[in-house]
Amino acid sequence: MIARLIADARHVAVGAASPIPATACELLRAQGKPIRVTRLHKRAGNPFTEGSRELFDLAGQGRIDYFFLGGAQIDGAANINLVRAEGRRFPGSFGSAFMYFTCRTILFRDEHSPRVLVPKVEFVSAPGWSPPEIARRGGPVALLTGKALFAWDRERRRFRLESVHPPHTEDAVRGATGFEYDVTEPKVTPAPTADELSLLRNTVAARIAPDYTDFARRVWG
Amino acid sequence: MAARPEDLAGQIPDGALVALPPDYSLPSMATVHALIRRNARGLKLLGVPVLGLSADLLIGAGCVAEVHSSAVSLGEAGLAPRFSEAAERGAIKVVDYTCPAVHTALQATEKGVPFMPLRGVLGSDLVAGHADWQVAQNPFSSANDPILFVAAIVPDIALFHARWADEAGNVWVGRRRELATLAHAARNTYVTVEEMRDGDMLEDELLAPGVISSVYITGTAVAPRGASPLGVADMYAIDDAHLAMYAKRARSLEGFQQYLDEFVWQGRKSSLPA
């Protein structure tokens, strides 16, 4: 699904906690797409020679097309919270307050529940929208969860349900989502094709395993 | 006699603003352990730009009063348990950053200017938590163009690990150039190294780009495997199993104390010269 969302990308950056987005990028590469993938916490052959600030310098200039962000909480205005929720402390905002302004951003969170998808975040690590006088090239494109895909409507500043992953249902998605969203005619999320699955299990798995060891063990054994 | 990590820890006073690298960028775990053993108190940690195991150990051991960072996390091993617990209990003051704001604040100090501008960030609740950030009009624009000004940060101490130090007092960090910016900005920089090297690395065209000049280095100590259980590129990798074990044990105070007993207090014996 992610691979389809970012199929037009030329340069995608992927962080340490993003094995699934990294997998999607490697799938595009395995399909022969000319995409540059910058993996931020690659253990060998890290792409930067100016230290970790180089990522932000690249993004600040507009040299990265897509980025992925998650959140302890995500609200219906596409604000994200990585700091605190319901008395619990989370790691922190990382680079989100900058990257969300500079890259087209896929919000990605496997857990799809009312405690994650809330009406209003308790703390805005990075805002989903900025008034016109604020310089901003990037922002939300879509929200992908373990149950569904939402597209971001920039004009209405609301999410729209695009598709529901089987075996989940539209009602189940409604019940598990704490914010209001638009619905037109949601589709069933298409399953990966046989070719995609074969690439994922072979070429892609081998490229992902060295940098995301736990994830690779869980998924591919 | 060559200095030991204990000697560096002795130079880091209680209450100092100590800048530390993330787990993937050469933390001086040997000196972090020595700080715990010397019972350091009231440290203010600055994450450049995030923190991991070294911060969680110092927080759990009661060495820390404040954490200034874009995040504290154990990466694939999950949340940093002692940090989360101390933050939820209000036992430490936490000042939240976003990564490029830390880099920018250190670059301002490196250049000797009082602040630097940074795009993005406006509209984030992070701004309200910072008396050292200001939203100002871009002075070069005639249109309404607000931009964030980030005040320079001067760490009292920079502390990290490196592959080599040489006879001239230079250290080699390879591509981890954020450590160079950090050393340029800090009042005092202490570095543990895997091994000493003969000569002057600045005379070697291939090594020189990865060198931090002795101009910026206050003190070095030799500590083989001094980043362990974290890694040094081309030498030893991050010990994922150790991090997972730590993450599990440190969920409880008892488990954390057992970890300290086994790996920090016991570790003292093996780090002393034979």
Residue B262 domain flag: yes
Q: Does residue B146 sit in the same domain as residue B159?
A: no
Which chain B residues are closer than 8 Å to A215 by Cβ?
Answer: 76
Dmax (CA) of chain A: 50
Domain CATH number, residue B63: 3.40.1080.10
CB-CB under 8 Å, A41 with B100: no
On whether any CB of chain B is under 8 Å from the CB of A132, the answer is no
B75 and B188 together in one domain: yes
| Whether residues B189 and B232 fall in one domain | yes
Res B272: pLDDT: 45
Predicted pLDDT of residue B223:
97
| Chain B nearest C-alpha distance from A75 (Å) | 14
User: Does a structural domain hold residue B103?
Assistant: no
Quick one: B83 and B119 in the same domain?
no
Same domain, B144 and B162: no
Range of the domain at B224: 5-97+154-271
B170 touches chain A (CB under 8 A): no
Task: Based on the fold, state whether residues B228 and B188 are members of the same structural domain.
Answer: yes
Query: Does residue B109 sit within a domain?
Result: no
Query: Across the interface, do A93 and B143 touch by the CB < 8 Å criterion?
Result: no
Contact A41 B75 (CB under 8 A): yes
Q: What is the 3-state secondary structure (H, E, C) of A98-137?
A: HHHHHCEEEEEECCCCCCCEECCCCCCCECCCCCCCCCCC
DSSP assignment string, A175-209: HH--S--EEEEEEEPPPPPHHHHHHIIIIIHHHHT
ipTM at complex level: 0.93
Number of domains in chain B: 2
CA angle B43, B44, B45 (to 5 degrees): 110
CB-CB neighbors (< 8 A) of A212 in chain B? 76
* CB spacing of B123 vs A87 below 8 angstroms: no
pLDDT of res. A17: 62
Predicted pLDDT at B140 = 97
Per the CB < 8 Å rule, is B145 touching A135? yes
Give residue-wise pLDDT tens across range A131-179.
999 999 999 999 999 999 999 999 999 999 999 999 999 999 999 999 9
Taking an 8 Å cut-off on Cβ atoms, the answer to whether A93 and B72 are in contact is: no
For B157-214, the pLDDT digits (tens) are 999 999 999 999 999 999 999 999 999 999 999 999 999 999 999 999 999 999 999 9
In a domain, B73, yes or no: yes
Show residues of chain B in contact with A95, CB under 8 Å. 49, 70, 98-100
pLDDT tens digits for range A90-103: 999 999 999 999 99
> Any chain A CB within 8 A of the CB of B119?
yes
Q: Is the pLDDT of residue A41 over 70?
A: no
Domain presence at residue B164: yes
Shared domain check, B173 and B143: no
- Closest partner residue to B100 (CB to CB) among A44, A49, A53 is A53
Averaged confidence pLDDT in chain A? 89
The confidence score (pLDDT) of residue B9 equals 97
| Cα(B52)–Cα(B136) distance, integer angstroms | 33
Is residue B34 a part of any domain in this protein?
yes
In a domain, B91, yes or no: yes
Interchain pair B75, A16: CB under 8 A: yes
> Are residue B134 and residue B82 in the same domain, yes or no?
no
Instruction: Say yes or no to pLDDT of A13 above 90.
Output: no
What is the tens place of the pLDDT at every residue in A18-33? 778 888 888 888 888 8
**Are B89 and B147 in a shared domain?**
no
The one-digit pLDDT tens for each residue of chain B (274 residues) are 579 999 999 999 999 999 999 998 999 999 999 999 999 999 999 999 999 999 999 999 999 999 999 999 998 899 999 999 999 999 999 999 999 999 999 999 999 999 999 999 999 999 999 999 999 999 999 999 999 999 999 999 999 999 999 999 999 999 999 999 999 999 999 999 999 999 999 999 999 999 999 999 999 999 999 999 999 998 999 999 999 999 999 999 999 999 999 999 985 544 444 3
The predicted structure's pLDDT at residue B274:
38
Contacts of B237 (CB under 8 A, 6+ apart): A43, B231
Residue ending a domain, choose from B107, B136, B151? B151
Helix (H, G, I), strand (E, B) or coil at B24: coil
| Residue after which a domain boundary falls, among B151, B170, B197 | B151
Among residues B151, B171, B196, which one ends one of the domains? Answer: B151
Give the residue among A208, A213, A217, A157 at the shortest CA–CA distance from A182. Answer: A157
Return the pLDDT at A38: 78
Q: How far is B1 from chain A (nearest CA, A)?
A: 33
What is residue A45's predicted lDDT score, i.e. its pLDDT? Answer: 59
b/e sequence B80-93, b meaning 16+ C-beta within 10 Å: bbbbbbbbeeeebe
- Supply the pLDDT for residue B254: 97
Is B120 within 8 Å of A91 when comparing Cβ atoms?
no
Please tell me whether residues B162 and B62 are part of one structural domain: yes
- Co-location of B179 and B166 in the same domain: yes
State the virtual CA torsion across B211, B216, B218, B223 in degrees, nearest 10. Answer: -20
Encode pLDDT of A171-204 as tens digits: 999 999 999 999 988 889 888 888 888 888 888 8
Say yes or no: B37 and B140 in one domain.
no
B104 falls within a domain: no
